[in-house]
């Protein structure tokens, strides 16, 4: 399997509850390497641009407001099959459907405040990584 990179975001509900370290331990225990990471405060407009694909969804406004409500930690995770592996470690979008032991099963508060985001495909991973990081910030 190819070594991939994926964009991960530790969301406001998790940074607020001091869960960054516990969530990072889940990634590292699964063999994902955190090759870039920074804590930033998004504006609603920046969150809106990142989630532009969801613009027509009824929850878009709420999502943008939530993502700008507290700092987030944006990161690049690297490893074999990192995109699928990260989605496995995160669990289903809705914590009610997330498998036991996954980040969302253990930490997420609701489908909206679900602790983490992860890219869903190689093409989106490339775009999402470039949204937050320059090539110089990626040290494998």
State which of positions 10-39 bind ligand CMP (CB under 6 A): none
Min dist CB 81 to ligand CMP, Å, is: 18
Tokens representing residue 140 in the block = 């494998």
117 classed as catalytic: yes
Tokens representing residue 39 in the block = 């804590």
Min dist CB 117 to ligand CMP, Å, is: 3
The answer to whether 85 contacts ligand CMP (rule: CB under 6 A) is: no
Which residue of 31, 71, 81, 112 would you call a contact of ligand CMP, by CB under 6 A?
A: 112
**Active-site residue among 117, 118, 129, 133?**
117
Among 74, 88, 16, 85, residue whose Cα is nearest residue 46: 74
Non-local (6+) Cβ contacts of 104 within 8 A are 90, 91, 92, 93, 94, 95, 98, 114, 115, 116
Q: How many other C-beta atoms lie within 10 A of the C-beta of residue 112?
A: 16
Q: Which residues bind ligand CMP (CB under 6 A)?
A: 54, 59, 62-63, 93, 111-112, 114, 117
List active site positions: 117
């Amino acid at each position: 399997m190819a070594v991939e990179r994926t964009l991960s975001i530790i969301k406001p509900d998790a940074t607020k509850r001091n869960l960054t370290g516990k969530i990072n331990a889940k990634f590292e225990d699964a063999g994902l390497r955190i090759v870039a990471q920074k804590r930033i405060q998004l504006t609603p407009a920046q969150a809106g641009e990142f989630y532009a694909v969801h613009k027509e969804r009824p929850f878009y406004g709420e999502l943008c407001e939530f993502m700008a409500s507290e700092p987030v930690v944006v990161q690049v995770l690297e490893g074999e099959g990192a995109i699928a592996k990260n989605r496995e470690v995160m669990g289903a979008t809705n914590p009610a459907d997330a498998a036991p032991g996954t980040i969302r099963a253990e930490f997420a508060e609701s489908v909206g405040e679900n602790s983490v985001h992860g890219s869903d495909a190689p093409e989106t991973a490339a775009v999402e990584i470039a949204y937050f990081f320059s090539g110089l910030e990626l040290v494998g």
